[in-house]
A and B are shown apart, each in its own frame.
Chain A
Amino acid sequence: MHYLFEPGLFSSGPVRTALLVGAVVAITSGVIGVFTVLRGQSFAGHSLADVATTGGAGAFLVGLNQFWGFLAAGVAAAAVMEGIGVQRRRGRDVATGVVLGAALGAAALFLYLGTLRTATTGASFTVLFGSIFVISQDTVPALVASGVVALLVVALLARVLLLTSVSPDLARARGVNVRLVGIAYLAALAVSVSLAAVAIGAVLSTALLIGPSATALRITKTPARAMAVSALGGLLATWLGIVLAYDSYYWPPHGHGWPVSFFVVALVLIGYLLSYVRPRAKRVPRSPHEGVECSPA
């Protein structure tokens, strides 16, 4: 046990904060990610994280806490994407791509202006890859609260969301406002993604959003179970990643920690690949004509 938990792991303040924030991020991403994968919005989920970087860079520029920048940019981008989002899938991807391109350009500008002013080139790296060990104590309540809000929105909408994800036409026939549900969902996604972006970096928040949920959807049969498995898997990957990253200070090359994001991504991927190894016989035989399925991944 001593080899896994290096001395001083649990007495360190930053590590405790990291474990707490990591847990919130993993659970929120895990639950919301199930819908992201079901709705085929992986690209939007990833783009929102990238767009949030723009907000992070902008916040850095004006000297605000990055989290608010991430959050504002993420929610604004979600609104724009849904606004110009064509209902057809291909058009939606293109609209997402255009928003993403424009936002990344703005990020380039903000980072450039930021480095002009403060001469810390490391900023672009922190904004993109985040660092869970340097979250300031005063943002923790805001982080936890936004995670809870996102979860609540999805929990309240869960049934309707599932229906609109699996069969929008049926939902429409039952009088559900598909568009409104889509916007509410995308806003929750934006909140969850900006949260993850702060914790493990904008770029790698995709790992926690897509990986555990895709894995869970492959190995479970009902959406509710998929959400539970996904949240649990994400939590496990995050905590183990944090512990390994902390330990890695004692690994070669000496005095050089390995990034948390690398460990989290590696663990998430191992989980996804393992879901392929599972014996095929256990899968429920499905009719080839069945139009709706719960496990697209």
Chain B
Amino acid sequence: MFSGLMMNTWITASIVAVIAGMTGFFAVLRGQTFAAHAIPNGAFAGAAGASLLGINVIWGLLVFAVGGALAIGALGGEGRTALRRSRNDVVTALALVLMLGLGALFVSMGSQYAEETYADLFGEVFGISQGEVLPIAALGIVAAAAIAVAFRPLMLTSALPEVAEARGVSTRRADLYFLVVMALATSMTVPVVGALLMFSLMIGPAAAARSVTARPGTALTLSVVIALATVWLSIALSYQTNWPLGFFVGTIGAAFYLIGQAARAVAPHRAVAG
């Protein structure tokens, strides 16, 4: 289970878990769960397009993920009122649908579709080469740095948008910044872990962490720890049973959330963001 090739899997998956735990924490806090789902899923269509054109899949992923993030950020409403949020949801849904529609077109034009689709959606985490580990490690550091640099404005605009506006921090710009960071993180991780897994890994652990503690620092750390635990458990189980990794990540993530909700019911606390 810890042989040469498997070591790559362990390392890559751990890095992905850290990235997902961090971005997921803000995605949950900022109420951008839908975007967290739409961007990796839409990026998958970019991969199909790139393989159709015969260029590196990464470019397709980058263009679609960042393009989707910019479209959601630019066309979605500003502010946090119900009206604006509803419009935000509509724009997110339509951006996702556009990317997937193009994906369906690309896939139908290509020849080797089924296997590729499955890999891009559900990931191919076993059998990662040494060469793939380095870019992901680099990306992990970049994503962590991008979030660390903007930690305070991101927290402020998430928790107290009115105060942030009064202090001259634009909620909208923070939204856009965060979406682009998420898109960058996604475009590197999707070919390895798959679009669906990336989403499960972002939401489950972060939601679980948020239901246990209200302190931002603790919640962020806990989110990363739970993401790591989820991934490690999933890899071990997937290795033993040969069942797809995505299944374990999805169910274990949901289980952590339920445990967190149960803990909250037993010992309630005050939520940080209303």
Find B82's partner among A89, A102, A257, A269 (CB 8 Å cutoff).
A89
- Assess whether A121 is in contact with B257, with CB atoms less than 8 Å apart: no
- Kindly state whether residue B243 has any CB partner on chain A within 8 Å: yes
State the CA gap A107–B199 with chains docked (Å): 14
Q: Which range holds the interface residue count of chain B?
A: 35 or more
**What are the interface flags for B29-41 relative to A under an 8 Å C-beta threshold, 1 for contact and 0 otherwise?**
0010110110001
Find B104's partner among A105, A262, A272 (CB 8 Å cutoff).
A262
Q: Is the interface of A mostly helix, strand, loop or mixed?
A: helix
Q: Is the interface of B mostly helix, strand, loop or mixed?
A: helix
- A102-B109 CB under 8 A given contacts A94-B207, A108-B122: no
- Assess whether B203 is in contact with A101, with CB atoms less than 8 Å apart: yes
- Kindly state whether residue B10 has any CB partner on chain A within 8 Å: no
- A89-B34 CB under 8 A given contacts A98-B253, A121-B114, A125-B114: no
- Assess whether A259 is in contact with B105, with CB atoms less than 8 Å apart: yes
Find A43's partner among B34, B105, B254 (CB 8 Å cutoff).
B34
- Assess whether B254 is in contact with A214, with CB atoms less than 8 Å apart: no
Q: Which residues of B contact A229 (CB under 8 A)?
A: none
- Kindly state whether residue A133 has any CB partner on chain B within 8 Å: no
- Kindly state whether residue B163 has any CB partner on chain A within 8 Å: no
- A129-B104 CB under 8 A given contacts A94-B33, A100-B37: yes
- Kindly state whether residue A93 has any CB partner on chain B within 8 Å: yes
Q: Which residues of B contact A206 (CB under 8 A)?
A: 93, 96-97
Q: Which residues of A contact B90 (CB under 8 A)?
A: 37, 42, 210, 214, 296-297
Find A105's partner among B107, B113, B196 (CB 8 Å cutoff).
B196
- Kindly state whether residue A197 has any CB partner on chain B within 8 Å: no
- Assess whether A109 is in contact with B244, with CB atoms less than 8 Å apart: yes
- Assess whether B118 is in contact with A111, with CB atoms less than 8 Å apart: yes
Q: Which residues of B contact A122 (CB under 8 A)?
A: 113-114
- Kindly state whether residue A151 has any CB partner on chain B within 8 Å: no
Most buried by B among A104, A125, A210: A104
- Assess whether B204 is in contact with A109, with CB atoms less than 8 Å apart: no
**What are the interface flags for A171-212 relative to B under an 8 Å C-beta threshold, 1 for contact and 0 otherwise?**
000000000000000000000000000000101101100110
Interface residue ranges, A against B (CB under 8 Å): 37-38, 40-43, 45-47, 84, 89-90, 93-94, 96-109, 111-112, 115, 121-122, 124-125, 128-129, 201, 203-204, 206-207, 210-211, 214, 253, 256-259, 261-262, 264-266, 268-269, 272, 293, 296-297
* Other contacts beyond A43-B33, A93-B34, A124-B114: 13, CB < 8 A: A43-B93, A94-B203, A101-B204, A101-B249, A104-B250, A105-B196, A105-B253, A108-B250, A109-B247, A128-B117, A262-B102, A268-B94, A296-B83
